[in-house]
Structure 1
Amino acid sequence: MNELQFPGLYIDDAADPRATVPHLCRSGYYSLILMNAPAESCARYGRQYYDYCDGTLVCYRAGAVCEEIPESGLWTVAFHPELFEGRTLEKCVEEYTFFSYAPREALHVSVAEKRILASCADDIRRELLLGADAYKRTILIRHITRLLDYATRFYERQFIVRESADELLIRQYENLVKQYIGEGKLAQMPLTSACCAGQLHLSEAYFNDLLFLRLGHTHNCHIQLKRIEMAKEKLCSSGEPLSQIVRELGFPSVQYFCFLFKKITGTAPNEYRNPN
């Protein structure tokens, strides 16, 4: 390790994170690595599409099988969830979903963003160098939370600026859902977010965040909305019995379908089909 020690916290400026990060993850630590990002690094991390090439942040969740660890980093910050025990936080560690992103979904940051992240790490170092007292743990937690919140902000910025690049993924996803429902497969097996993420070659965490930030709702919600949309088409264009439509679209029962249809559309299915 290094000379800056505090229970549940690790920070290091070592050039090769590969020597420490796998052990930290196996020990239950969450890790963040900031590295310089020349063109070859950008092509390897961050979905091979980058708006900035000034720095790259790669994160690993506790217990992860660490793959594609950067060979060199400006710094590594790692912490154990036990550090936060007994403290009231706005978000629990698991809510920082970027820890479950794949390395190829890393965060590319601008010069200004890189400086902010570096300042968070500097604040942690400075606090570790001070003597122990009753405030040390609280202040360290605040510095770590600040680092995580900035990482979240910059990731959301990255989703926004990649809107045109992500549009293709959203179209592929919507086509996948429509085809799956249209072929009656939903009645046999649910279409999970993990399955969709795999089809799009994304981690499930990245896929779920992309979906929410792009469409404003979750995968399960999208499935329901798409089924209702397809039900409306069937009600208007076919004479299929309601029970058959319900079965084809994979709803568990006619009663549930009628409840959900009216909740979303404000009209009962039979009224929608026969407005007069």
Structure 2
Amino acid sequence: MNELQFPGLYIGCATESHAIFPYLCRSGYYCLILTDSPVEICTRYGRLHCDYCDGTIIGYRPDTVCMEFPASYLWTVAFHPDLFKGRILEKTIEEYTFFSYALKEALHVSLKEKQILSSCVDDIRRELHHGTDSYKRTILTRHIIRLLDYATRFYERQFIVRELNNERLIRLYEKLVRQYIDEGKLTKEPLTSSYCAGQLHLSEAYFNDLLELQLGHKHNCHIQLQRIEIAKEKLRSSGKSISQIVQELGFPSVQYFSFLFKKITGVTPNDYRCFS
């Protein structure tokens, strides 16, 4: 450990041993690492042709299964959630979902973004050098949250510049959902976000954030919307009874289907069929 210490917080630099990282993860710390590895090495962290290449941010949550850390890095910030106990936060640490992304889903930053993030770390270092007083913990936690908020902003920017690739993933996802419903699998077991993420070769956290940013809703909501769209098709083009449609689409009851259908479309299933 270096001289910059505070209970629940660790700041590391490029000259320090990698041996500390597994210990930190096992001890319940969240880690954020900035590496400036060459472009050809950064491809292992999922860098696409549309990404920046001035640095790569990698996040690790506690008890990370894969202990693969970059060979070289500029800095790392590791903190324990207990550091924030008793503090009023706009969101919990668990809501910074990028800590649960896979290594291949790392954030590739521009030079300006790299400077902003490093400036946040410099602020943390300066406060660690300050003498201990009643303000120190509060100021440190604010600097850490600022760093995490900037990282979140830049991750969302990365989703935007990857628009074409994301559109392809969304099309594959929608095809997967439609096929699962059409084949009647939904009547046997639910289609989980974990399963869909696996089929798209994404972490579940990255997959869920992708849906939120691209579609504006979560996986379970998308399943319901898709089922209602298919139900509308069946009501328009088939003579099947509502109870048959409910059974085919895996709804728990006619009553629940009717409630959900009206909530989404504004009319009852019977009215929709009559006016179609």
TM-score by length of 2: 0.97
Unaligned runs of 5+ in 2: none
Indicate the SS of the match to 1:31.
strand
- After the TM superposition, which residues 39-188 of structure 1 pair with which residues of structure 2 at under 5 Å, given as runs? 39-46=39-46, 48-188=48-188
Contact 1:25–1:66 (8 Å) recurs in 2: no
Aligned pair in 2 of structure 1 residues 18, 247: CA closer, same or farther (>3 Å)? Answer: farther
Distance 1:45 1:15 in 2: 22
Contact 2:50–2:161 (8 Å) recurs in 1: no
Distance 1:104 1:155 in 2: 13
1:50 deviates by: 4.7
Q: Which residue does the alignment assign to 1:226?
A: 226
1:37 deviates by: 3.5
1:241 deviates by: 1.2
Indicate the SS of the match to 1:73.
coil
Instruction: State the Cα deviation string for residues 244-268 of structure 1 (Å, max 9, x = none).
Output: 1101111001110000001100111
Contact 1:184–1:248 (8 Å) recurs in 2: yes
Aligned pair in 2 of structure 1 residues 225, 16: CA closer, same or farther (>3 Å)? Answer: farther
- Regions of 4+ moved over 6 Å: none
- Count matched residues: 276
Instruction: State the Cα deviation string for residues 143-185 of structure 1 (Å, max 9, x = none).
Output: 1000000000000000011111111100000000000001111
Aligned pair in 2 of structure 1 residues 149, 267: CA closer, same or farther (>3 Å)? Answer: same
Distance 1:171 1:17 in 2: 44
Distance 2:60 2:246 in 1: 43
Contact 1:42–1:50 (8 Å) recurs in 2: no
Distance 2:42 2:163 in 1: 19
Distance 1:38 1:166 in 2: 25
Contact 2:37–2:72 (8 Å) recurs in 1: no
Distance 1:3 1:78 in 2: 15
Indicate the SS of the match to 1:274.
helix
- After the TM superposition, which residues 204-219 of structure 1 pair with which residues of structure 2 at under 5 Å, given as runs? 204-219=204-219
1:47 deviates by: 5.3
Unaligned runs of 5+ in 1: none
Indicate the SS of the match to 2:31.
strand
Q: Which residue does the alignment assign to 1:7?
A: 7
- After the TM superposition, which residues 256-271 of structure 1 pair with which residues of structure 2 at under 5 Å, given as runs? 256-271=256-271
- After the TM superposition, which residues 10-49 of structure 1 pair with which residues of structure 2 at under 5 Å, given as runs? 10-15=10-15, 18-46=18-46, 48-49=48-49
Distance 2:65 2:72 in 1: 19
Instruction: State the Cα deviation string for residues 109-151 of structure 1 (Å, max 9, x = none).
Output: 0000000000011011111011101111011001100000000
